[in-house]
Structure 1
Amino acid sequence: MVMTCDLEVDVNGEEIFLVSKDILSSFSGRLRKLFDKPSLPASSQSLKVILHNLPGSAEGFELMTRFCYSNGRIHIAPSNVCLLHCVAEYMEMTKDASPNLIKITEKCLEEIPFWTWLEIMNSLKQCQGFLPAAIASGNFDKILDSLAVRITTASDNSPTSSSPESSAFRFSFDTRSTISTKSSSQRTWWFDDLALLDPDMIQKVISNLIFRKIDNVMISRFLFHYLKSGVCSAPSKKRKATEIVIDLLYSLDRNCISCKGLFGILRVSLSLRLIKSCQSRLESMIGTQIDQATLDSLLIPAPIGMESHYDVSLVLRFLNSFLATGVQPSSIRMKRVGSLIDSYLVEVAPDSSLEPSKFISLITILPDAARDSHDAVYQAVDLYLEVHTQLSEEEKMNICCAIDYDKLSSESCKHLARNPKFPSRTAVEALTFQQSKLKSLLQNTDSFRSILNPPPNESKCKEKDQLNDSEQIVLYANKLDLTLENEKLKAELQGMQWRVMELEKICRKMQTRMAKVMKNKTPSPSGSRSLPRLCS
């Protein structure tokens, strides 16, 4: 057969090859059909053929021509068999004559279940260049199945056939990941090898592992590791990888995903402009685990163009996602979130650009059961009013109404009474709630006295007088001209605080006396009484 380069082949518009028409057409049914057309003019001049969507582009065509020119004597291995098979199908190399590239590659592909880890990885890397064709051929799924089996059934030690590329990667690149081959569980020996794959390939590989119900904790750890690996350094590639990782994480069990890792992705994504649906999924995952967050995690800078320092709207979306999970208000998780948001309130309150409506929403979005005390809320409101001096009285009152005065300590109420930044009416409300506490305290005091049966003395009468006096204070305060009588109201509040402290002293004395009496008497189960909260 005379070897003449009489055929010009344009492969996918990327590269042009000069080859022998007779040699290639003797193996390729696609070319043979083209040249056998009667309409094709017979000429000694070179012919030109344009191939579109050839698997593997120039690499695939070169491998195919080497097979044709050597009459099938080329090395076929796991690293090139998938490509050769896809090219053979594209070029319709189905002639019964020997050698037949399709038959040869099919026989080699039957050995996929017996490939080493290195051979599996090399095959996956090459499939990245022609992934649609590899999937269509059915061979890609077989490789994924083999990979999943290796991951699930491998021994504790990393395979001895680990790829040299991955070894060099581990040596030369510090990912600062908590998952390292030396310090973490040996179950993650495959992390660095898979981290070298492209995002599209990762999506296929991990989806297969999820379908096979592989440990979700291990999968989530790999996905976080993948984004840290540095493989996706280009902005466009990094964005695509981040979106794919978020979608994969969203399909996992939420309890298997690190909240800290999600915040890490969030901070990276701020500059990537992810698609809206992907960003919403990320926020939703964080929101369901907001009780595991730290204050530093929540202090996320506001988007460019906003005057405020922190992205309060984002935190509010987190809280809405958390509440949408149906967590019971009395749960420990809810208490944790309440404490976290109180700390966040104190941090963001001094922001002069923080709108009153958002500040109020941060306080009121959680149910009452999330907070046992409103002292931190009072502290945040105090800081907010100190910075936002231009607020109207109505705006101040709206903010102060978010405080539950019944959950303020005596010390906070005392501070509020002397605080000129607060509207005078708030002092009256605080006084009213303190009055209610006094009533409860005196009632409990009377109960102690009736149990102990002490001799009558003047103290009980004085306590009743104090109660009557305190009631008069509330009635009087409600009638005050709050502008002119503010100083008088403060004085009354100070007197009220003094009475609270005196009654607490009485309570402590009576508690001691109660303990002595009970020590000498055998308590009856039916007659036992619990001590009042303020006396405990």
Structure 2
Amino acid sequence: MGDFLEVDVNGEESFFLSKRVICSYSGRLSKLFGKAAKESRNLKVIFHDFPGGSEGFELMARFCYRNGTFEINPSNVSLLHCVAHFMEMDKSVGKTHNLLEQTEKSLDEIKYWTMSELLVALKQCQDLLPNASSSGIIKRLFDSLVGRLALTSEASPCPSTSSPDSSVVRFSCDSRSTESLKNSISQATWWFEDLVVLNPNLIEMVVKLMVSQKFDHATISRFLFFYQKSKCVCATTSHEKQKIIEIAINMLYLLDQSSISFKSLFGLLRIALNLNIGKSCRNRLENMMGLRMDQATLDNLLVPSPHGTNYLYDVNLILRFLKSFLLGGIHQAPLTRLQKVASLIDMYIAEVAPDPCLKPSKFVALIVALPDSARDSYDEIYRAMDMYLQVHGVLSAEEKMKVCCTLNYDKLSSEVCMHLAQNTKFPSKCAIQALTAQQSKLKSLLHETNQPDSPSDFKESDCKVKDEDSEQIVLYAGKLNVLSENEKLRAHLQGMQWRVMELEKVCKKMQTQMTKIMKSRSPSSARSLPRLFMPFF
């Protein structure tokens, strides 16, 4: 009995083995016992991190008791390879048939394995981390897997034309038939369902390897969305879903952002909002989406507010999107992209304005989040502001002024300025500013109209301007024979004459209206100013 060794494997099971047999194959146990292996007393060994637990130890024991003759195949090679590394069962023990060498020979045949055998070996590695990683077997399996997938990708025509917003690959080869196109798509994505059996940790490893080997980013992104949807359906706990979502986000962050479906990112966001994902992971997702705000739609932005809040939509989320966009998303065609985002945000502001719980500070923050140059007109902002002030009638005068100060009166149309001037929901200062800005704009237009448009065609002395009365300005062409020399110039001058006449009439009318408004807004005046009906509201 003194030759026996008791082994406690991870607290799962205890084995009683011959010290002589086990030590002759395991360098780790041989070094552990040293001379004690030859003594007659019984010894006990306790393992806390034996790879594969009691199953792995039993396979190793069978190998030793069968004198190194044991069948190694794809279904057990991962486990045996990790055990061989852990127990140091290599040539150093002096055995001709050592376990590590035999598993290495089996792995040399990996190129002849079927895809199913390869996935079985990989799936077994899931429960062997970190031993599978340190032993090097998982890298060899991944190299083989990615190599096969890369060959499939290269065989698919026109991979660069794939659209990230499509669940399949789009090809530009018009000569192909519909049937061959479907076959090519199937060849490019057939492995999606196969890899779903792997856990998030292995998916993270394989995606990183794909990225390092220049795998098609559009294909990777489609797979990640497919994997996330498939695994989340099967996940039983929120913790499992959280892990899946975080891995998907972190891996998408490694890819070329133009290869990722923007619509799918919003779908991922709606799931992530209901899970307690890490802050850094959430920031990555928001940053990816914010950089491409110009691709969003109004429906995308109408994200419900977080649980526990009383306002309707998550305004803070949109503000974070805009911050990301301004920090890194306008380096390409900045003006066009800015204007597109500004138009979208103006529609969003109009949607959230009726929310009675939306604070003035958040409403103002939405308006000023983008630079003034992003908007050619502030008419839509005024309409949203009019609705906001109507719903929030209890705001103080100071709060109203803070809201109204975000308007750029120079970018309001004449119709809106006239409406604002008679809108009692707005402070009187706003009416004055609107009318002043409009009057200044008209004076500027009048001044520009009095200047010749084409100095190269005629000199200043050739055009005389005569002020007949306060209602019109008549332009005379002096030395030019317009009818015979330049018919276009004559038509242009006539148009300018009509325009100046109309602008002067509007200017006089606005001056009269401003005087009336000032009187009606005066505290001493008891008569209230009637509100005009404007058809565009």
After TM superposition, the score normalised by the length of structure 2 is: 0.77
Select between 436-445 and 459-468 the one with higher mean Cα deviation. Answer: 459-468
Say if 1:200 and 1:155 are closer, same or farther in 2 by CA, change over 3 A: closer
Say if 1:218 and 1:149 are closer, same or farther in 2 by CA, change over 3 A: same
Say if 1:473 and 1:350 are closer, same or farther in 2 by CA, change over 3 A: closer
Q: CA separation in 1, counterparts of 2:125 and 2:498?
A: 95
Aligned-pair CA distance for 1:347: 1.3
Residue aligned with 1:296, SS: helix
Determine if the alignment matches structure 1 residue 428 to structure 2 residue 432: yes
Say if 1:376 and 1:460 are closer, same or farther in 2 by CA, change over 3 A: closer
Say if 1:374 and 1:155 are closer, same or farther in 2 by CA, change over 3 A: closer
Aligned-pair CA distance for 1:22: 4.7
Q: CA separation in 1, counterparts of 2:437 and 2:358?
A: 30
Q: CA separation in 2, counterparts of 1:241 and 1:461?
A: 69
Select between 349-358 and 294-303 the one with higher mean Cα deviation. Answer: 294-303
Aligned-pair CA distance for 1:214: 0.9
Asked if structure 1 preserves the Cα contact closer than 8 Å seen for 2:330 and 2:338, the reply is yes
Residue aligned with 2:46, SS: strand
Asked if structure 1 preserves the Cα contact closer than 8 Å seen for 2:519 and 2:525, the reply is no
Identity of aligned residues (%): 49
Q: CA separation in 2, counterparts of 1:316 and 1:16?
A: 60
Asked if structure 1 preserves the Cα contact closer than 8 Å seen for 2:249 and 2:284, the reply is yes
Determine if the alignment matches structure 1 residue 80 to structure 2 residue 76: yes
Q: CA separation in 1, counterparts of 2:499 and 2:355?
A: 51
Q: CA separation in 2, counterparts of 1:459 and 1:57?
A: 91
Asked if structure 2 preserves the Cα contact closer than 8 Å seen for 1:382 and 1:421, the reply is yes
Aligned-pair CA distance for 1:321: 0.6
Say if 1:458 and 1:414 are closer, same or farther in 2 by CA, change over 3 A: closer
Select between 93-102 and 122-131 the one with higher mean Cα deviation. Answer: 93-102
Amino acid at match of 1:253: D
Residue 67 of structure 1 aligns with which residue? 63
Residue aligned with 1:154, SS: helix
Give unmatched runs, 5+ long, in structure 1: 159-176, 498-536
Determine if the alignment matches structure 1 residue 313 to structure 2 residue 309: no
Determine if the alignment matches structure 1 residue 153 to structure 2 residue 156: no
Residue aligned with 1:380, SS: helix
Write out aligned runs for 1:497-512 (5 A).
Answer: none
Q: CA separation in 2, counterparts of 1:277 and 1:156?
A: 35
Q: 2:371 aligns with which of 367, 370, 391?
A: 367
Aligned-pair CA distance for 1:233: 4.1
Asked if structure 1 preserves the Cα contact closer than 8 Å seen for 2:3 and 2:20, the reply is no
Residue 29 of structure 1 aligns with which residue? 27
Determine if the alignment matches structure 1 residue 290 to structure 2 residue 308: no
Say if 1:390 and 1:5 are closer, same or farther in 2 by CA, change over 3 A: farther
Asked if structure 2 preserves the Cα contact closer than 8 Å seen for 1:302 and 1:310, the reply is yes
Residue 513 of structure 1 aligns with which residue? none
Say if 1:10 and 1:464 are closer, same or farther in 2 by CA, change over 3 A: closer
Amino acid at match of 2:60: M
Residue aligned with 1:300, SS: coil
Residue aligned with 1:127, SS: helix
Aligned-pair CA distance for 1:265: 2.0
Q: CA separation in 2, counterparts of 1:459 and 1:115?
A: 83
Say if 1:40 and 1:356 are closer, same or farther in 2 by CA, change over 3 A: farther
Say if 1:466 and 1:155 are closer, same or farther in 2 by CA, change over 3 A: closer
Q: How many residues align?
A: 471
Select between 283-292 and 27-36 the one with higher mean Cα deviation. Answer: 27-36
Aligned-pair CA distance for 1:295: 1.6
Residue 346 of structure 1 aligns with which residue? 350
Determine if the alignment matches structure 1 residue 188 to structure 2 residue 189: yes
Residue 210 of structure 1 aligns with which residue? 211
Determine if the alignment matches structure 1 residue 260 to structure 2 residue 258: no
Asked if structure 2 preserves the Cα contact closer than 8 Å seen for 1:5 and 1:18, the reply is no
Write out aligned runs for 1:453-468 (5 A).
Answer: 467-468=507-508
Q: Once superposed, what is the RMSD of the aligned Cα atoms? A: 3.6
Asked if structure 2 preserves the Cα contact closer than 8 Å seen for 1:82 and 1:123, the reply is yes
Deviations 1:38-73 (A, max 9, x none): 499735xx7542123111222211221232333334
Say if 1:461 and 1:23 are closer, same or farther in 2 by CA, change over 3 A: closer
Residue 359 of structure 2 aligns with which residue? 355
After TM superposition, the score normalised by the length of structure 1 is: 0.77
